[in-house]
Amino acid sequence: MTTTIWATVFVLGVLIFIHELGHFLVAKWAGIKVERFSLGFPPKMIGKQIGETDYCISWVPLGGYVKMVGENPDEPSTGDPREFMSKSVGTRTLVILAGPLMNFIAAALIFIAVLWLHGRDTIDKTQVVVGPVVADGPADKIGIKTGDIIQAVDHNRVADFDSMAKLIHSRPGDTVEILWKHDGDLYSARVRTRIDTAKKTDGADTVVGVIGIGMGYVTETVGFTAAVSGGISQTFDFCGEMLKFLWGLFSGSVSIKNVSGPVGIAQIAGKVAREGWAVLMNFMAVLSLNLALLNILPVPILDGGHLVFLLIEKLRGRPLSMKQRAVAQQVGMLLLVLLIVTVTYHDIARFISG
């Protein structure tokens, strides 16, 4: 539980900070006065005034915001060139885009750093390397550890993970003999497989036997140039997959049940944190891309909604009234709350069902 909490706070805190830092830096570059830089939404928890900006942490940890002078188009204008609304539509567009862009850049840099400092995890097709071991599972009880090499199942030599899995899957609830190597020494033990369910190629459930191990990987060194190339490639590959997923949600081919909310993110963060820093950082990079893409959706209250307001202002020559913006943002807030409630319900349902 402690790991889950700190991993969640770390991942979300860093990504929210990066996002708001993008808005803040471009606003400062554009000469806009920033009154507040907040992680979280009001009420304010703690903060410190530095110069003209109040830097604070607020109690509602579902995002953050940068409050700029004159950001509201119906605020009385003083004619101060440092007001947000006194800037051109193009400049304000850059300020809004800076948040998602920072998340995108951060994801690419994280992917690059992990490849360069950690290396690339690949499947060893010449042997069965043990990955994560389920605590108190059948394999754990006979002493199999992460990094061990499975040699045989019931005296049948196994050359790769798939061949080993097929032998064990075919024996649900039966006792099997496992031969494995640990630190150069061979060990053998008999263990009863745990009965589980898996999906067949046609989507139907089938009963299988498992011993509670995941696929292991070997890590190969990656040079800096290859890391840069690979990190950028990963970034665009994940963006493409996410766009397909979003299209599936809108078209109805993907269920909303597959979307994770705050509870699901916390569960995943805790799990990947226990698998090592490289896995946690890659998860952070993927989540950063999610935040970037979701924020530019044309939904009022999100950055994408503000971009729509700016486009309308550019086309009609004047901004929408505060009343019009308020109604649109109330609708956007309602949609966002409904989405959070729905995905949280499914997160909790998944957690309860195990």
**Distance, CA of 70 to CA of 80 (rounded, Å):** 9
Q: What is the pLDDT of residue 202?
A: 61
354 pLDDT above the threshold of 60: no
Considering the domain architecture, whether residues 107 and 175 belong to the same structural domain is answered as no
Chosen domain end from 219, 247, 280: 219
**241: in domain:** yes
The model's pLDDT over 189-245, given as tens digits with 9 standing for 90+, comes to 999 999 988 776 666 778 999 999 988 888 899 999 999 999 999 999 999 999 998
Domain hosting 211: range is 122-219
**Contact (Cβ atoms closer than 8 angstroms) between residue 82 and residue 267:** no
- Rounded to the nearest 5°, which phi and psi values hold at 229? -60, -45
Chosen domain end from 169, 194, 219: 219
What average pLDDT does the segment 20-40 reach?
96
16 pLDDT above the threshold of 80: yes
The model's pLDDT over 272-284, given as tens digits with 9 standing for 90+, comes to 888 789 989 999 9
**Domain of 159: which CATH number?**
2.30.42.10
Chosen domain end from 160, 186, 219: 219
**269: in domain:** yes
**316: in domain:** yes
Q: What is the pLDDT of residue 289?
A: 96
Considering the domain architecture, whether residues 330 and 272 belong to the same structural domain is answered as yes
What average pLDDT does the segment 99-115 reach?
97
What is residue 209's DSSP assignment?
E
Most confident of 8-12, 18-22, 57-61: 18-22
Q: Which of 68-72, 201-205, 340-344 has the lowest mean pLDDT?
A: 201-205
Considering the domain architecture, whether residues 248 and 277 belong to the same structural domain is answered as yes
Considering the domain architecture, whether residues 26 and 50 belong to the same structural domain is answered as yes
Q: What is the pLDDT of residue 140?
A: 94
Q: Which of 180-194, 292-306, 339-353 has the lowest mean pLDDT?
A: 339-353
Considering the domain architecture, whether residues 111 and 239 belong to the same structural domain is answered as yes
Considering the domain architecture, whether residues 127 and 205 belong to the same structural domain is answered as yes
How big is the chain by its Cα radius of gyration, in Å? 25
Q: pLDDT-derived band of residue 73, with 50, 70 and 90 as boundaries? A: low
What average pLDDT does the segment 13-29 reach?
96
**200: in domain:** yes
**129: in domain:** yes
Considering the domain architecture, whether residues 243 and 109 belong to the same structural domain is answered as yes
Total number of domains constituting the chain: 2
Q: pLDDT-derived band of residue 337, with 50, 70 and 90 as boundaries? A: confident
**224: in domain:** no
Considering the domain architecture, whether residues 263 and 331 belong to the same structural domain is answered as yes
**Distance, CA of 211 to CA of 169 (rounded, Å):** 9
**242: in domain:** yes
Which distant-in-sequence residues (6+ apart) come within 8 Å of 27 by Cβ? 34, 66, 68, 84, 95
**23: in domain:** yes
Considering the domain architecture, whether residues 140 and 286 belong to the same structural domain is answered as no
Considering the domain architecture, whether residues 140 and 85 belong to the same structural domain is answered as no
Considering the domain architecture, whether residues 200 and 244 belong to the same structural domain is answered as no
Among residues of the chain, what percentage have pLDDT more than 70? 96
Considering the domain architecture, whether residues 265 and 329 belong to the same structural domain is answered as yes
What average pLDDT does the segment 67-71 reach?
89
Which secondary structure element, helix H or strand E, spans residue 73, and what is its range? none
155 pLDDT above the threshold of 80: yes
> What mean pLDDT, rounded, does the chain reach?
90
